[in-house]
Structure formats: C-alpha cells, structure tokens
C-alpha cells in the first residue's frame, strides 16, 4: 500500500500534504478555503445575475478610524443583486491569523450555512460564492477569539438587505458598548490631582513672571551672541 501511494504521489495523482482537500475544505500552510462555490446555483436562482469582484482587506490598520477597535476590515458593507456571483480576494495585512466568514447561507449548498476564508498571516486568498435571491443582510466577520468583538465585523446586503446588523463599526450601534473603568485608588487619585495642579500652576507661573523670564532669555541670548563674535574674531 505504501509503495502504491508513493507511486501515485510521484505521478502527481495525489497532491502533496502541504495542499489538502477535505470535502470542500482546501488548506495549506498559509491558509484555508471552505465551501467555495463558483458553479452551483441556489434553488431560487434561475441564473447568475451579475459577477461582482470584491477585494476585502483585514488588519489592525483598518481599525484606526474606529475609536476603541483593534481589528477591522477595510470596508464594512457591500451591496449585491439577488443571485450575484461574488468573487472575493481576501487580503490579510497583518502577521497574525484573520478569517472572513459569511453566515446564514443555504445549508443545502454551503455546509453549516457558511463560507470561510482564513489566512494564518500576511497574504491573500481568492474564492467565489453565489448568493441566493432572498432580500437579506448576511453577517461577515472573523471568528478568531475577540477579533469580531474588537471590530472585525461587516455585512453583505442582497437586494438592499433586510436591515443593518448590530455592532457594525461605523454603521450600527453596538449591542453593548465597551466600558473602560478606572480603578480609583488613593494612588490614581493623587496622580490625577498632581497632574491638575501642575497643569494649572505652570501656566500661572509663566504669566506672572513673563517679564523676568523674557529678560533672562534676552541675557542668555546676548551672552551667546557675544561669545560667538569673540570666537569668530579669534
């Protein structure tokens, strides 16, 4: 049996272990694609209505425009026609793992109702899916722990969608807003009071002693000019 497998691999009949296909899941050392579909129509679609090319980038730098967020996609919403074929180029701009998952798809065509792209670090993947005709808003997110909660969440609307999903950065309000409490110990209170006093006293001191400070600066400048003239003469 081992001899047979070795022979098949040498002939190219069986791919190398670095690129495996497990029932619709393609994966290698760089990433993974699950439930890609470029040909099979949903039951409610007589034909593909349009081909849409979408590039979706993921990374920390895309979260800078959202206060309190750590990760994000470069866009948070896409609109397509019913029965559209979406050709996605997924780019990870970080050196850490990110995913692009679309939920709520018909289970008879997409196992677990899911389309999934994943990159273990910087790089890109390409895959397609065909959307149903139903007027609906679909969740797009990263399922790595805390990535969605920290901003990596978006939505795809088919035929305008059926409303906005909650907690989409820049689009909809969060279900529960992030709270950043301060542990008010005696030390933190003393530090705060010290900063307030310093912030008030320093400008006050400068204003009151403006004339003396100005004269002192002028004297220093005069001495510096005198020394520079002497050095140039010598």
39 plus 154 within the same structural domain: yes
Q: Which domain holds residue 202?
A: 186-233
Question: Phi, psi at residue 139, to the nearest 5°?
Answer: -75, 135
Whether the CB-CB separation of 91 and 118 falls below 8 Å is answered with: no
User: Would 173 be classed as within a structural domain?
Assistant: no
> Quick one: which of 157, 38, 35 has its CA closest to 108?
35
225 plus 143 within the same structural domain: no
138 plus 200 within the same structural domain: no
| pLDDT confidence of residue 221 | 82
128 vs 53: CA distance, rounded Å: 9
Instruction: Note the helical H segments in the chain.
Output: 2-11, 186-208, 210-233
Number of domains in the chain: 2
- Burial pattern 75-110, b for ≥16 Cβ within 10 A else e, equals ebbbebebbbbbebebbbbbeeebbbbbeebeeebb
3-state SS string for 206-218: HHHCHHHHHHHHH
In Å, how far are 94, 132, 148, 154 from 71, measured between CA atoms?
10, 29, 8, 12
In Å, how far are 70, 98, 169, 170 from 174, measured between CA atoms?
15, 22, 8, 10
125 plus 220 within the same structural domain: no
| pLDDT confidence of residue 3 | 40
Whether the CB-CB separation of 38 and 130 falls below 8 Å is answered with: yes
135 plus 192 within the same structural domain: no
- The secondary structure of the chain in percent helix, strand, coil, rounded to multiples of 5, reads 25, 30, 45
User: Would 7 be classed as within a structural domain?
Assistant: no
42 plus 134 within the same structural domain: yes
Q: What is the pLDDT along the chain (234 residues), one digit of tens a residue?
A: 334 333 433 433 334 444 565 656 898 999 999 999 999 999 999 999 999 999 999 999 999 999 889 999 999 999 999 999 999 999 999 999 999 999 999 999 999 999 999 999 999 999 999 999 999 999 999 999 999 999 999 999 999 999 999 999 999 998 877 676 777 888 888 888 988 988 888 888 888 888 888 888 888 888 777 666 666 666
139 plus 215 within the same structural domain: no
For the entire predicted model, the pTM comes to 0.69
43 plus 138 within the same structural domain: yes
Q: What CATH number does residue 118 fall under?
A: 2.60.40.420
52 plus 151 within the same structural domain: yes
């Amino acid at each position: 049996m081992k001899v047979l497998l070795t022979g098949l691999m040498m002939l190219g009949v069986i791919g190398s272990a670095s690129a495996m296909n497990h029932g619709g899941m393609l994966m290698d050392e760089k990433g993974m694609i699950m439930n890609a579909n470029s040909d099979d129509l949903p039951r409610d679609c007589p034909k593909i209505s349009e081909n849409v090319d979408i590039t979706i980038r993921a990374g920390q730098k895309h979260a800078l425009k959202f206060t309190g967020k750590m990760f994000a996609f470069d866009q948070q919403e896409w609109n397509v026609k019913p029965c559209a074929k979406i050709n996605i180029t997924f780019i990870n701009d970080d050196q850490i793992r990110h995913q692009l998952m679309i939920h709520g798809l018909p289970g008879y065509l997409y196992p677990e109702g899911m389309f999934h792209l994943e990159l273990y670090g910087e790089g890109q993947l390409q895959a397609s899916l065909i959307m149903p005709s139903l007027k609906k808003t679909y969740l797009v997110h990263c399922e790595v722990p805390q990535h969605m909660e920290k901003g990596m969440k978006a939505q795809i609307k088919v035929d305008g969608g059926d409303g906005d999903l909650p907690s989409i950065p820049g689009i909809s309000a969060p279900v529960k807003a992030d709270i950043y409490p301060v542990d008010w110990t005696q030390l933190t209170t003393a530090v705060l009071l010290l900063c307030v006093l310093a912030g008030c006293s320093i400008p006050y001191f400068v204003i009151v002693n403006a004339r003396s400070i100005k004269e002192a600066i002028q004297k220093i400048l005069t001495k510096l000019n005198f020394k520079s003239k002497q050095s140039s003469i010598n």
